[in-house]
Amino acid sequence: MLLRNADEQHQASSAASLDTGGSSMTATASGTPGADLENKLAGMSAEEIQKYLSSEEFEKWVRATQANADAAKTVLDKLADSGQFASLRLTDKPNGYGKFLEQYWAESAMRQAGIDPAHWDPAKGVDYNREDIYKVYAFYAELYKNDPRMEWIGMANQVGPTFIAGFEDLAVLHKMADAGQDASEFLADMDPARYAALQSLMNLGAEDLAYYETTFLSMQKQIFTDIGSQHFAFQQGGLAEIERMRAAGLVTDPMDQAWRNIDSVPQYSNPQDYHGLTTTQKQLLHKASYNIADREQNFVIADDYDNIRDRPSGVAFTEAMTVLGKPSIVGADSYYEQFPAADPYLDFGRIPPLGVDVHHGNISVREDRWALIDQDTLGAYEDWLHGRDNPYGEMVKPMPERVDEYRMVPKPVRDLLGAP
Q: Residue 355: enclosing H or E segment and its boundaries? A: strand 354-355
| Residue 408, Ramachandran bin (φ over 0: left; ψ between -120 and 50: alpha; else beta) | alpha
Nearest partner of 280 among 264, 292, 297, judged by Cα: 264
Q: Residue 43: enclosing H or E segment and its boundaries? A: none
What is the secondary structure of 382-416 as a DSSP string?
HHHHHT-S-HHHHHTS-HHHHHHTT--S-HHHHHH
Q: Which residues pair with 355 in a beta bridge?
A: 345
Tens-digit pLDDT string for the chain (420 aa): 344 343 343 333 333 445 433 333 433 335 688 998 999 999 899 889 989 998 999 999 999 999 999 999 999 999 988 888 776 555 567 788 989 999 999 999 999 999 999 999 999 999 999 999 999 999 999 999 999 999 999 999 999 999 999 999 999 999 989 988 887 787 777 877 778 888 889 889 999 999 999 999 999 999 999 999 999 999 999 999 999 999 888 999 999 999 999 999 999 999 999 999 999 999 999 999 999 999 999 999 999 999 999 999 999 899 889 888 899 999 999 988 888 765 666 666 666 676 655 456 899 999 999 999 999 999 999 999 999 999 999 999 999 999 999 998 989 889 988 999
| Residue 325, Ramachandran bin (φ over 0: left; ψ between -120 and 50: alpha; else beta) | beta
Residue 92 is predicted with a pLDDT of 60
- Cβ atoms of 134 and 164 closer than 8 Å: yes
Residue 31 is predicted with a pLDDT of 66
The two beta strands, 345-346 and 354-355, are antiparallel
CA torsion sign, 308 to 313 to 318 to 321? negative
Helix 96-112 to helix 229-247 angle, to the nearest 10 degrees? Answer: 170
Largest CA-CA distance found in the chain, in angstroms, rounded: 79
Distances from the Cα of 120 to the Cαs of 60, 141, 180, 203, 373, in angstroms?
17, 20, 29, 29, 28
Using DSSP, state whether 181 is helix, strand or coil: coil
Q: Which residues pair with 345 in a beta bridge?
A: 355
Q: Within 10 A of 287 (CB to CB), how many other CB atoms are there?
A: 15
Q: Where are the domains of the chain?
A: 46-119, 124-417
Residue 13 is predicted with a pLDDT of 38
pTM exceeding 0.75: yes
Q: Residue 4: enclosing H or E segment and its boundaries? A: none
- For residue 352, is the peptide bond before it cis, meaning its omega torsion is within 30 degrees of 0? yes
Nearest partner of 355 among 327, 320, 328, 308, judged by Cα: 320
Residue 9 is predicted with a pLDDT of 39
